[in-house]
Chains A and B, each alone.
Chain A
Amino acid sequence: MSWDWHYVLEILPELLQATIVTVRLALLGFVVAIVVGLLVAIARLSNDRIISTLAWGFTEFVRLTPLLVQLFFAFYVLPEIGIKLPAEPTGVLVIGLHYAAYTSEVYRSGIRAVATEQWEASIALNLSTFAIWRRIILPQAVPPMIPALGNYLIQLFKEIPLLSTITVYELLNTGNLLASSSFRYLETLTLVGVIFLLLSYPSSLLIRRLESNLVKT
């Protein structure tokens, strides 16, 4: 079977549209991941044993079981217990929660890296807990975390194709649909791969750059 450039041009617009969908899903999932991840990290550092154990259990469970099965679980079980969500939000939520377990570890080590004196000084100045986190700890802890969080964004983006298994039409699923009517799997799947590479490789170079800049300063 030979490579058909005409076919490539024919399907390119549709694949690019699906790329936008994929990027959008990845960004939405990442928003969930960084918000929930922060909450989980704070919960894990909590003095309350029950809260910190629950947060620990969540991260361990999520990190030791496959995202794919978590997706199946949410997609088939949620409707049974009365929560009817369309496939896309379900996917975004699950992948976001999955990565929250990973980002929480980044936050946790970042927060730990803030010198203890900063905490002591904040307490000595009688700042409220909220003000300590918002004004003192997080502004120092977050910037060094940015490369690690960025890497997780890229990883999350590369796992968006898993949502195809719960009927979301992202890049891979769109490619499959096109290929199943034309039987041109070679062109469609190669293009899907190339699009992923074109988006994720430059992003990872950017993050490496960021990382070396941070190390310098």
Chain B
Amino acid sequence: MEIIEAVLPALFRGAKITVQVTLQAGILALIVSVVVGVLRDASSSFIRIPIGVYVEFFRGTSAFVQIYWVYFALPLLGIQLSAIAAGTVVLGLNVGAYGSEVVRGALRAVAQGQREACIALNLSKWTALTRILLPQAMLRVIVPWSNLLIDLLKGTSLLSAITVTELAFAGRQSVSALGNPLLIFGVVLLMYLILAAPIAWASKFLDERLRRGLSVGRQS
């Protein structure tokens, strides 16, 4: 028990950074998801192709390798980011790439008649998108996004490899200082579980509600 008292403050500090990175990278991912998800199907190939390259690049290489690359290789090209900034940006862009696919899929799932009606009503592209198409697509997006949020939360542990003192790193430090990996990593796992479980519950609850209220199924 003494050992728990000794490590808890450090683990709580780590958990705070984990939450902070999750929120910041989450906001970045949210913005990227919507913008990229909409532009991925743009009519101009000057927009569509670079966007496609971005998405496939981030989905095709490993998040862990991306973090290493930005932290160790990018400074050699003259761009130096702090460990936590590098990690947050990479995670945000990585999850954003996956999230944009969700948005794209949801936009495509909006009934064709809605688009035709927008044209018939002479709505501008912007109005059609923000007033008609996105609001309908967003309902389908919520559940897959909450799963991505859990992935993001778990992904913040990768930052431990570039010396960010988040929860996993704090756990590792505590183990090397005090031993007893069973107890300390056990507590760390439990803390991740406590952070992630509410998101999973909310996702399940929303999924059931949406299935009942609208004919929107889970998409994955």
Contacts and interface: CB of A to CB of B under 8 A. Distances in A.
Interface in B56-114: 56-57, 59-66, 68-69, 72-73, 76-77
B181 A189 contact: no
A7 interface: no
Determine which residue in A70, A192, A193 has the highest number of CB atoms from chain B within 10 A of its CB, and name it: A193
B73 to A, nearest CB: 4
Given A81-B182, A161-B62, 12 more contacts: A64-B193, A64-B197, A66-B156, A69-B167, A70-B189, A76-B181, A162-B158, A164-B64, A185-B72, A186-B76, A197-B61, A204-B59
Given A1-B76, A165-B161, A197-B57, A159 B64 contact: yes
Chain A facing B: main interface SS:
helix
B36 interface: no
A77 interface: yes
Contact of A158 (B56, B62, B156, B175): B62
Interface of B: 56-57, 59-66, 68-69, 72-73, 76-77, 150, 154-158, 160-161, 167-168, 171-172, 175, 181-182, 185-186, 188-189, 192-193, 196-197, 200
B155 A72 contact: no
B146 to A, nearest CB: 12
23 contacts: A1-B77, A61-B193, A64-B192, A64-B200, A66-B156, A66-B157, A69-B185, A72-B168, A80-B182, A161-B64, A161-B65, A164-B64, A164-B161, A172-B62, A179-B72, A186-B76, A189-B68, A189-B73, A190-B69, A192-B69, A193-B62, A196-B65, A197-B61
Q: Is the interface of B mostly helix, strand, loop or mixed?
A: helix
Nearest to A68: B157
B60 A204 contact: yes
A217 interface: no
Contacts of B157: 66-69
Interface string A183-212: 001100110110011001100100000000
Contacts of A116: none
Contact of B185 (A61, A73, A81, A164): A73
Nearest to B63: A158
Contacts of B66: 193
Contact of A185 (B61, B76, B181, B189): B76
Contacts of A179: 72
Nearest to A197: B60
Contacts of B189: 61, 65, 69-70, 73
Q: Which of A69, A81, A172, A204 has the most CB of B within 10 A?
A: A69
Contacts of B56: 201
A172 B72 contact: no
Contacts of A190: 69, 73
Bin chain A's interface residue count. 35 or more
Nearest to A194: B61
Contacts of B69: 189-190, 192-193
A65 B154 contact: yes
Contacts of B161: 164-165
Contacts of A161: 62, 64-65
A176 interface: yes
Contact of A189 (B72, B154, B156, B185): B72
B158 A65 contact: no
A72 B196 CA distance: 19
A67 B68 CA distance: 18
A186 B172 CA distance: 28
B64 A186 contact: no
A13 B220 CA distance: 39
B168 A196 contact: no
A162 B64 contact: yes
Contact of B186 (A63, A66, A73, A185): A73
A183 to B, nearest CB: 9
A205 to B, nearest CB: 9
Contacts of A185: 72-73, 76
